[in-house]
Amino acid sequence: MTSLLSAKPIDPQDRLIVALDLPNAEAARALVIELGDAVVFYKIGLELFMTGGYFELLHWLVGEGKKVFVDLKFFDVPETVRSAVRALAGSGATFATIHGNQAIMEAAVKDKGNLKILAVTVLTSLDRGDLDDLGFSCDVEKLVLSRARRALAAGVDGIVSSGLEAPMIRRELGDKLMVVTPGIRPVENKPVDDQKRTVDVAQAFRNGADYIVVGRPIRQAANPRQAAIGIQQTIREVFFPSGG
């Protein structure tokens, strides 16, 4: 069987993105300081955006030598999305998410500079019943693959996709798109929160993810730094099973 393991030249430590879904920027800074050199890459999303200090936190993270994933899922008329991406492009952020149709994706990549644009396929909090409520008659896998193909055609750098659909994307599209997988749980999924389509760390990468996003399993751990170190060790073992 052909390996789905990412062959992209990414430092293993960079493959873990920690979600700073916290009540305020001060709490986010405190967690970053606590995690120290165990984590290089951070995601900052809507919760922090609404509490103030979002861009100050972004600039502080960049100044600390961290990589930043701006997860605001830009969704508006295409020209507005283009302008928003253009404004963000000089911030030092590494990734940014967009949501929407072909025209929105095409607009987002026009003035992105070095910023990598990720298109959201289907949120990992949604399952078949949720898609029915939203009026999508196709199954999750078909919808994800359709959106991934459209993202590729639009010139988007990558997609955000559940680890359950990542193998299908890799088999259909190869390494043409970067795959970022959220909803990671440290053990086999038994849904106890709002994430429904999840996988564990090792399986996410074996399914073809380039990066994983981990939030609660680190933030809510008794020792967040040790939890992050444990995940980093798992990542290294997946990519270098012989200890290389």
Residue 141 clears pLDDT 90, i.e. is over it:
no
Higher-confidence residue of 165 and 46: namely 46
> What average pLDDT does range 64-88 have in this prediction?
96
Residue 138 clears pLDDT 70, i.e. is over it:
no
> What average pLDDT does range 97-109 have in this prediction?
93
Residue 134 clears pLDDT 90, i.e. is over it:
no
> What average pLDDT does range 26-39 have in this prediction?
98
User: Is 43 one of the catalytic residues?
Assistant: no
pLDDT of residue 142: 77
Residues 189-242 have pLDDT tens digits of: 444 444 444 689 999 999 999 999 999 999 999 999 999 999 999 999 999 988
pLDDT of residue 133: 57
> What average pLDDT does range 100-126 have in this prediction?
86
Select the highest-mean-pLDDT range: 160-164, 165-169, 204-208.
204-208
Could you tell me which of 74, 123, 138, 125 has the C-alpha nearest to residue 100? 74
> What average pLDDT does range 96-102 have in this prediction?
91
Q: Structural domains in the chain?
A: 12-238 (3.20.20.70)
> What average pLDDT does range 118-145 have in this prediction?
63
> What average pLDDT does range 109-124 have in this prediction?
86
Could you tell me which of 4, 8, 1, 35 has the C-alpha nearest to residue 19? 35
Cβ neighbour number for residue 114 with a 10 Å cutoff: 9
pLDDT of residue 193: 47
Task: Report the chain's mean pLDDT, rounded to a whole number.
Answer: 88
Indicate the range of 142-146, 168-172, 231-235 predicted with least confidence.
Answer: 142-146
C-alpha span between 42 and 72 (Å, rounded): 13
pLDDT of residue 129: 56
Pick the catalytic residue from 73, 110, 112, 116.
73
pTM across the whole model: 0.89
Residue 132 clears pLDDT 90, i.e. is over it:
no
> What average pLDDT does range 83-96 have in this prediction?
97
pLDDT of residue 135: 55
**Sorting pLDDT into bands at 50, 70 and 90, what band is 146?**
confident
Q: What are the beta bridge partners of residue 179? A: 159
pLDDT of residue 121: 78
